[in-house]
Each structure stands twice: as C-alpha cells, then as structure tokens.
Amino acid sequence: MNDGRLSSEALVRDCLEQIRERDSQVKAWTYLDDELAIRSARELDRIPRSGLLHGIPIGVKDVIDTLDQPTEYGSPIYRGHRPVADAGCVAMARAAGAAVLGKTVTTEFASSYPGSTTNPHSSAHTPGGSSSGSAAAVADFMVPLALGTQTGGSVIRPASFCGIVGFKPSFGLVTRTGVKQLADSLDTVGMFARSVADIGVFTAALCGRPEFERIHEAAPARVGVFRMNDWPPCEAPMTEAIENAHQFLSTQRCAIHECALPVPFAALAEAHHDIEYFELARSLQHEYRHHRNELTPGLRTRIGEGLEISGKTYEQGCRLVRECRVLGDCWFTNVDILLTPSAPGEAPLGLATTGKATFNRIWTLLGLPAITLPWHRGPQGLPVGVQLIGRYHEDRRLLACADWIFRGPVPS
Amino acid sequence: MNDGRLSSEALVRDCLEQIRERDSQVKAWTYLDDELAIRSARELDRIPRSGLLHGIPIGVKDVIDTLDQPTEYGSPIYRGHRPVADAGCVAMARAAGAAVLGKTVTTEFASSYPGSTTNPHSSAHTPGGSSSGSAAAVADFMVPLALGTQTGGSVIRPASFCGIVGFKPSFGLVTRTGVKQLADSLDTVGMFARSVADIGVFTAALCGRPEFERIHEAAPARVGVFRMNDWPPCEAPMTEAIENAHQFLSTQRCAIHECALPVPFAALAEAHHDIEYFELARSLQHEYRHHRNELTPGLRTRIGEGLEISGKTYEQGCRLVRECRVLGDCWFTNVDILLTPSAPGEAPLGLATTGKATFNRIWTLLGLPAITLPWHRGPQGLPVGVQLIGRYHEDRRLLACADWIFRGPVPS
C-alpha cells in the first residue's frame, strides 16, 4: 500500500481533514490528537521503511490498549485511563510501521450498550457494533485500516452495515494481550479495510506472518451455501444478496452445495448466550464490585444473569462447542468456503441498539475465520454484505477466495 | 474454613510472623505491606461474613493484577507498576471475602527465568516454577491459599516439589482477565492449598460456583495409569510413587487400566513448544519492541525463536490439539481419572532452573483438569507428588476422587 510516493504525513493530514469535515456527524472517534498523529507520521517519514504498514494510519477500537493514547473501554469507569503498554496487536502493527491515528468508539466493554457513532451512509441508522467507530471510520474514508474485536458479531455486522470488508480471523490468529476481556472463549481481534488485499497486508503485519501479504486471488471450486432464510431475522435484502452471490458463483463454474446445519448445531446459539454471559459476569467482576453504578443498567442485568447461569449449563455449552468444532471441520472436506448472511439485512433504523448478531455467533463460537464483502444496496439504499466462512486456520485460503469474489467477474 | 472462631487479623498476623521468620530463606514474596494486610483483615473482621473465604489470607502470583499492590510480572520493566483494576480471579476472591496478603514471586513473565524463591524443604533446591512463590509460601505455612498460573507445568510441578496440593482446572474454569498473557491457548489460572477440601472451597469462590464448596470424597471406580516411566526424565522416586499409588488403589478395589498415549499424542509435546513460543513472541511484542535490553537473554532468544516458527507449523499444532481434545475425551468412557507423574522426581538441586514440565505440558494443552497430591519423600528427603487427570470440565469429580485418595486408606 505504501509505495513510497506518498508521505505518511500527507496521508495522516488527509485523514484528519476528512475527520474534521465529517466526524461531527459520524462520531467514530473517541480520542484523536492531531499533533501527536502528525508527529508520529513525520517520524515515520524520516526513517527507512520498517515494515508492511510503514506510515499507514490505523484506527484502534477503544477496548484495545495503547501506550500513548487513553483507553477507556467505552465506559466512564476508565475515563482518561492510560495503559502501561500497547496491546500485542498494536505493538505488532507499530513494529510494521503503522501510525496509530486515534481510538475509535466501542460499545460499553464491547458488549451491547451503544456509543455515539452513526452509520456513514445515513446518520439515522446504526453503524452496527460493538466495533462501531472502526467500521464507520473506514467506511467514511477517515482511515484506511482499523482494528476491532468480535465476541458475537462485532466485526462482521458493522462491516456489513457500513459497506466495507470486515475480517474475523480464526480464533487466536491475532494475539489478544492488552485487549479488554469480555468473554475469553469468544473474544477475537478482527479488522476493517476497503479491500480484501488490504485485509491481507494488515493481517500479515498483525500476526507477523509474511505469507498473508500476497493473497493470490483464487476461485473457490466448491462453495457451500447456508441460506438461513428461514431464520427469524433474515430479511428480504439479505436473502436477495445471498441468492445473487449464489448466481454469480454458479456462472463462474463454482460447484455449489446447499447446506443445512448439522443437528447438534441447533443448540449452539443458546450455548453462545450461556458462555458469553457466564464468562463476562466473571471477567467484569472488578467493575461489578467497585463501580456498579457506573455500569449501564443493561450490563448490570447481564452480569447478574451470568452469575445465575449454573456451572453445569456452562460446561455443557463448552463441551458442545468442542464437539461441534470437530464436526464442523467435516464440511471442508466437501467445500472450500461457506456462503452465508453477514447480518439480518440493512442497518436497522435508530441508534438505541446495534442490531442482531444472529448470523455471526455460531462462527465466532466455532472459531472459524469469517469475512464479509459489501455486496449490494437494499431498498433503503444501505449496504448489505455477504459472509464467507473458511476452515479453522485456513484463513489464507479464505482470503484468496474472498479476494477473487471481491474483484468480481473476470471479463471472458 | 472460617468458622468464626478465629479473627482474620489473628490469621494474618500468624502468616506475617511466619513470613518474618522464614522468608529471608524461602524468598517467596515479592511484595508485602504488613500494615495494609492487617488493615484489610480488620475491615473484614468488622463486617458480616461475606462469602466462602471471609477473612482468609491469600497469596497472589505476581503475574496477576492487584489494584492495591504493585504487579511487576517478574520483570524490571514493570517495576512499581500499579494496575488500574484487580484481575477477575482476585476480584472474585475478594468478593468472597478473601484478604490479599501480598504478591508472590514468579519467574520472568511466568516463562523460564527463575526468581529468588528456594524450596522450603531445602534451600539448595528449586521450588519449581513459574508459580514459585505461591507454592513455597503455602508449603511453608506462610499463607493457606495462593493463586498461580500454568502454561506448561507451572502449578503442578512446583506443588509436587514443595509437597502440597496444586490444582490446574479445566482450561477456562477460572477467568483470566487481568492475568499477564504469555501463551493465550495455554495460560490457565490455578491454585495451591494444603488439602483437597481447601482447593474445593477456593475454586468455588474463584469461579462463583457454590457446588465446589462441598467436595464429597468419592472413590474412583476405574483408574487409568499412565506410568510414563520410559519417558527420559522420569526418575526412580517418581516411578516408585506411581507404583505405590497404584498398589494403594488396587487394595481399595479400584479397577486399574494400564494406559498408553494414543499415537497422535506423540506429536503433542512438540506442538506445545511451537504454540507456546509462537504465541509468546506476539504477546510480549510490546516488551520486545520497547524494552529489549530489560528482558533476560533467554527470553529474548525465545521470542526470536517464536517469530521464526512458521504459521503453517503453528496451525498444524492448533489443529492437532483440536483433534486430540476430542480423542482424549474417549479415555473417560472407560476410566474416571488418570494417574500419572506430577514431575520427573524430587526437586532438582540448584536455583538456576525450575525443573522440567515434561509431565504437565500435554495436559495443559488438552485443557484437562489436573491435580497433584503429595505422595511420599524421595531419597533426598524431598516431596514427590502424583498427578491425577480428569475429564474436561469434570473438575468436581476429579476433586472428589482426589479428596478420597488424599485422605488415605479408610480403616476397614
């Protein structure tokens, strides 16, 4: 991305200009220090190219620790908190030469209570969450790359709502050190960009794996389709997007298999709920104990509910997940990727919730890599994405297939 | 444990007295503020009983964040560091009324470089690590309970070397928020006590699961024995301990099955190495980048090695683990628990290393609950423990069997 023709300072100034113009409406940023950003960019312009992201500005979701900028986890409890170290993913990005532009809005502790961000395509609509600011900032050309996290659908959903590429890698691909924990079995560091190629370069830097730098686009030979159009929240614009993607792939000589979820998977949605609530009730114990009145009533209730879930229920959920992870792997003996909805449909109206994670939770729980590609616009003119799922730890193959689909039909 | 007859202040003063007398030799503590400890105890004595650990002093391994006491992760990089919140496990313990007595010595970032602690049974011998201070402090009657972490064998090995009970629960049983990350796929919060019953109460408090409070001792009907006496570092005192435990169980009418590791498990030791190094190289990226000269040469080398491990090797390891987790579960259709060595033998002479984790790594990697019980003394007069392994998330059954074995032969 940085071919040496453009200085980091110029890039950063462009980003800051766009933010100045648009952020009073989009409200994607929770912390931004123009002078610090320009100073960092100048330093990078002075030194030799240090890595894949040299001089590239990135946005960092505010549940991820940064040494030089406050990190508030979307909660007044941590107002002005200055971490003592960069999170692992931030340190990896900086080691590759990235310039941390600022911190982006998150819901409260990456849980449900929304921040101030609006959808760049229509400020009356949610951008999705919990990585609201990162998705909106990339979609609105305020920054080319941003970091997020996903515990339910917090990367894929906002990326779909905002019309960009969102990637939730295999569980554990990107280090989680210094990321505020919500649910340990589920929290996954993910990322936003405006192309699959950029996602590849970003991933290469974040996990220190150069093989991700060059994603050679590759047509998937065999695609499994989970339409899920009988799942309650699936709306017409999403059903159409999946059908349209299906049609496109058929014309490109991909073999399409219609898939249904294996029987044991029916219990995964409930297992996700139990595991998430059980774990967050414990990981947020310090805040629950010392700052209960500074938590939103919704999160307080959620913690209370998590403490009521029996150990037996939690364990059954964990055991089911272990089994389904192995069971789910069987798909990929027949298909290269799965095609499935990214979200129920267009971004819902209003900012009181960030929408439903129904189509994301099971993939997060199984730890499988997922990417959403902007596909078309719905009747309200808002973006609708389609989601591709890959085999555990075959992230590179998923990105290669996604890149090929993202680039669209090859002229014949 | 707290029946109301003893004040917390008296308990804490006893602990402090023992520490004053012995810690110049054992060197188990890295931070201790007598006045803070006594003040906390007095406050607990003034209020009604708040939970299972009301007034009980605990030691906290110094890779675990505490709000009111410095947390240095065994590294000069974090000298005097004051975390902004308690770790989840500390918050859970305090919510149950525990008094945090002080911070115990850890190896550097819970990796290999040893701290100053000596074995309470012989100061020329290692106490084991990385939870060196927690194990030694409990063994030397300085504190009844202590928190540790295990990434390889950092709870079971030091507990065996120091002659106490050490418990590494199922992966994820105790929340890891606020625990300095070394290898995300492996790090597990564990605990030390002088009886299995105490471990049960401690576990109940730490994971907010009252069903752990009363561990009803229960004889295991079927025991699998992994002797592992052909594994290179297994020494005579350990072989004898396993044989002796085997004999004891036979006389108690347990059905004993001799077990061997399934073929795919042979690659797990190498997978553990690859996963641990690959992950720590990324989780310690901030320190590697900004404080390289304050890392020990050994850890610097280890991070460098981790950065050289290919993504493919790492992924193969992760996939093998997923498969072996399901495969390993099959044992427990035939046996209730597995009996296997806790460590190679007695604590080795010298303080330059903390001994080998050969007999612990695969259980950590599989995420299975493990407990070590002090069994006998070796020729040097040092303790030798035996390890019991349970089914994933059947921690309670493991503790019940362990309690029965710990209490010894029932008079017939």
C-alpha distance from residue A79 to each of A30, A280, A302, A374 (Å): 11, 21, 22, 35
pLDDT for A18-28, tens place per residue?
Answer: 999 999 999 99
**Active-site residue, from B61, B103, B168, B180:** B61
Domain shared by B26 and B119, yes or no = yes
Distance separating alpha carbons of residues A299 and A55, to the nearest angstrom? 38
pLDDT for B146-155, tens place per residue?
Answer: 999 999 999 9
Answer whether residue B331 is part of any domain.
Answer: no
pLDDT for B135-177, tens place per residue?
Answer: 999 999 999 999 999 999 999 999 999 999 999 999 999 999 9
- A130 among known catalytic residues: yes
Mean pLDDT is lowest, of A144-148, A218-222, A306-310, B197-201, for A218-222
Work out whether strand A99-104 and strand A57-61 pair parallel, antiparallel, or are unpaired.
parallel
Domain shared by B18 and B145, yes or no = yes
Domain shared by A14 and A70, yes or no = yes
Q: Do B88 and A282 touch (CB under 8 A)?
A: yes
Domain shared by A63 and A184, yes or no = yes
Res. B191: pLDDT tops 90:
yes
Domain shared by A78 and A160, yes or no = yes
Main-chain phi, psi angles of A176, to 5 degrees? -105, 0
Q: Helices in B152-235 by DSSP H: which ranges?
A: 156-162, 196-207
**Active-site residue, from A8, A130, A160, A283:** A130
Answer whether residue B407 is part of any domain.
Answer: no
CATH number for the domain that contains residue B157: 3.90.1300.10
Quickly tell me which residue has 């159409």 as its tokens.
Answer: A240
Domain shared by A193 and A285, yes or no = no
Instruction: Tell me, yes or no, if A253 comes closer than 8 A to chain B by beta carbon.
Output: no
Domain shared by A219 and A351, yes or no = yes
Distance separating alpha carbons of residues A133 and B19, to the nearest angstrom? 51
Q: Are A377 and A137 in contact (CB under 8 A)?
A: no
Q: Residues of A249-263 as b/e, b for ≥16 C-beta within 10 angstroms?
A: beebebebeebeeee
Q: What is the pLDDT at residue A1?
A: 43
Distance separating alpha carbons of residues B225 and A268, to the nearest angstrom? 35
Query: Considering A273, A303, A323, which residue would you say is the last residue of a domain?
Result: A323
Point out the residue among A85, A92, A283 whose CB comes nearest to the CB of B282.
Answer: A92
Answer whether residue B105 is part of any domain.
Answer: yes
Point out the residue among B279, B286, B311 whose CB comes nearest to the CB of A85.
Answer: B286
Average pLDDT taken over every residue of chain A: 94
Q: Please state whether the peptide bond connecting residue B130 to the residue before it is cis, i.e. omega within 30 degrees of 0.
A: yes
Res. A2: pLDDT tops 50:
no
- A154 among known catalytic residues: yes
Domain shared by A132 and A204, yes or no = yes
Q: What is the pLDDT at residue A270?
A: 95
Closest CA to A155 of A372, A373, A410, A405: A372
C-alpha distance from residue A140 to each of A21, A119, A200, B289, B331 (Å): 11, 9, 20, 32, 54
Answer whether residue B242 is part of any domain.
Answer: no
Domain shared by A124 and A231, yes or no = yes
A261-264 own/partner pairs: CB under 8 Å, 24+ apart: A261/A226, A261/A362, A262/A324, A262/A327, A262/A328, A264/A320, A264/A323, A264/A324, A264/A327
Report the share of chain A in percent with pLDDT over 70: 98
Q: Are A188 and A394 in contact (CB under 8 A)?
A: no
Answer whether residue B161 is part of any domain.
Answer: yes
Q: What is the mean pLDDT of residues B381-387?
A: 98
Query: Considering A323, A341, A363, which residue would you say is the last residue of a domain?
Result: A323
- Per the structure, the count of domains in chain B is 2
Domain shared by B166 and B286, yes or no = no
Q: What is the pLDDT at residue A4?
A: 53
Residues forming beta bridges with residue B351, ordered by sequence position: none
- Give the pLDDT band (50/70/90) at residue B195: very high
Q: Are A52 and A94 in contact (CB under 8 A)?
A: no
Q: What is the pLDDT at residue A300?
A: 98
Residue that wins the pLDDT comparison between A334 and A66: A66
Q: Which domain holds residue A308?
A: 265-323
| Residue B214 DSSP SS3 | coil
Q: What is the pLDDT at residue B231?
A: 80
pLDDT for A247-258, tens place per residue?
Answer: 999 998 899 999
Q: Closest-CA residue in chain B for A88?
A: B283
Query: What residues of chain B, 315 to 344, have a C-beta less than 8 Å from chain A?
Result: 315, 318-319, 322-323, 325-326, 329
Question: Which site among A92, A111, A285, A324 would you substitute to test the B interface, given the most B Cβ atoms closer than 10 Å to its Cβ?
Answer: A285
Quickly tell me which residue has 């029987």 as its tokens.
Answer: A263
Name the DSSP class of A175.
Answer: -
Instruction: Tell me, yes or no, if B205 comes closer than 8 A to chain A by beta carbon.
Output: no
Q: Helices in B252-380 by DSSP H: which ranges?
A: 268-283, 285-290, 297-308, 311-329, 361-366
Q: What is the pLDDT at residue A121?
A: 98
Distance separating alpha carbons of residues B143 and B22, to the nearest angstrom? 12
Name the DSSP class of A183.
Answer: -
Q: What is the pLDDT at residue B335?
A: 94
Domain shared by A341 and A303, yes or no = no
Query: Considering B306, B324, B342, which residue would you say is the last residue of a domain?
Result: B324
Q: What is the mean pLDDT of residues B345-370?
A: 96
- Give the pLDDT band (50/70/90) at residue B412: very low
Answer whether residue B283 is part of any domain.
Answer: yes
What value of ipTM does the predicted structure carry? 0.92
Work out whether strand A165-168 and strand A145-150 pair parallel, antiparallel, or are unpaired.
unpaired
- Give the pLDDT band (50/70/90) at residue B5: low
Average pLDDT taken over every residue of chain B: 94
CA–chain centroid gap for B145, Å, is 11
Closest CA to A330 of A247, A259, A399, A246: A259
Domain shared by A175 and A142, yes or no = yes
Distance separating alpha carbons of residues A155 and A203, to the nearest angstrom? 14
Point out the residue among A67, A78, A282 whose CB comes nearest to the CB of B207.
Answer: A282
Distance separating alpha carbons of residues A11 and A143, to the nearest angstrom? 9
Q: Closest-CA residue in chain A for B81?
A: A84
Query: What residues of chain B, 179 to 198, have a C-beta less than 8 Å from chain A?
Result: 181, 184-185
pLDDT for A38-58, tens place per residue?
Answer: 999 999 999 999 899 999 999
Q: Are A340 and A353 in contact (CB under 8 A)?
A: no
Helix-helix angle A268-283:A311-329, to 10 degrees? 130
Instruction: Tell me, yes or no, if A81 comes closer than 8 A to chain B by beta carbon.
Output: yes
- Give the pLDDT band (50/70/90) at residue B88: very high
Residues 6+ apart with CB under 8 A from A250: A256
Report the share of chain A in percent with pLDDT over 90: 87
Instruction: Tell me, yes or no, if B362 comes closer than 8 A to chain A by beta carbon.
Output: no
Q: Please state whether the peptide bond connecting residue A130 to the residue before it is cis, i.e. omega within 30 degrees of 0.
A: yes
pLDDT for A258-287, tens place per residue?
Answer: 998 888 898 999 999 999 999 999 999 999
Q: What is the pLDDT at residue B39?
A: 96
Q: What is the pLDDT at residue A253?
A: 85
Q: Are B182 and B278 in contact (CB under 8 A)?
A: no
Distance separating alpha carbons of residues A315 and A320, to the nearest angstrom? 8
Instruction: Work out the angle at residue A389's Cα, subtended by the Cα atoms of residues A385 and A394, and round it to the nearest 5 degrees.
Output: 135
Residue that wins the pLDDT comparison between A381 and A323: A381
Which pTM does this prediction carry?
Answer: 0.94
Q: What is the pLDDT at residue A217?
A: 80
C-alpha distance from residue B134 to each of A58, A149, B146, B187, B213 (Å): 41, 34, 5, 16, 22
Distance separating alpha carbons of residues A75 and A81, to the nearest angstrom? 10
| Residue B282 DSSP SS3 | helix
Answer whether residue B230 is part of any domain.
Answer: no
Q: What is the pLDDT at residue A6?
A: 85
pLDDT for B273-310, tens place per residue?
Answer: 999 999 999 999 999 999 999 999 999 999 999 999 99
- Give the pLDDT band (50/70/90) at residue B2: very low
Q: What is the pLDDT at residue A187?
A: 98
Closest CA to B166 of B132, B142, B117, B205: B132
Point out the residue among B184, B211, B322 whose CB comes nearest to the CB of A311.
Answer: B211
- Give the pLDDT band (50/70/90) at residue B409: low
Answer whether residue B398 is part of any domain.
Answer: no
Res. B347: pLDDT tops 80:
yes
Q: Do B172 and A181 touch (CB under 8 A)?
A: no
Sign of dihedral through CA atoms B292, B114, B348, B279?
negative
Q: How many CB pairs under 8 A join A and B?
A: 126
Q: What is the pLDDT at residue A412?
A: 44
Q: Closest-CA residue in chain B for A318?
A: B393
Q: What is the pLDDT at residue A283?
A: 97
Q: Distance from A85 to chain B by nearest Cα, in Å? A: 7
- B310 among known catalytic residues: no
Q: What is the pLDDT at residue A410?
A: 53
How is residue A237 written in tokens?
């614009």
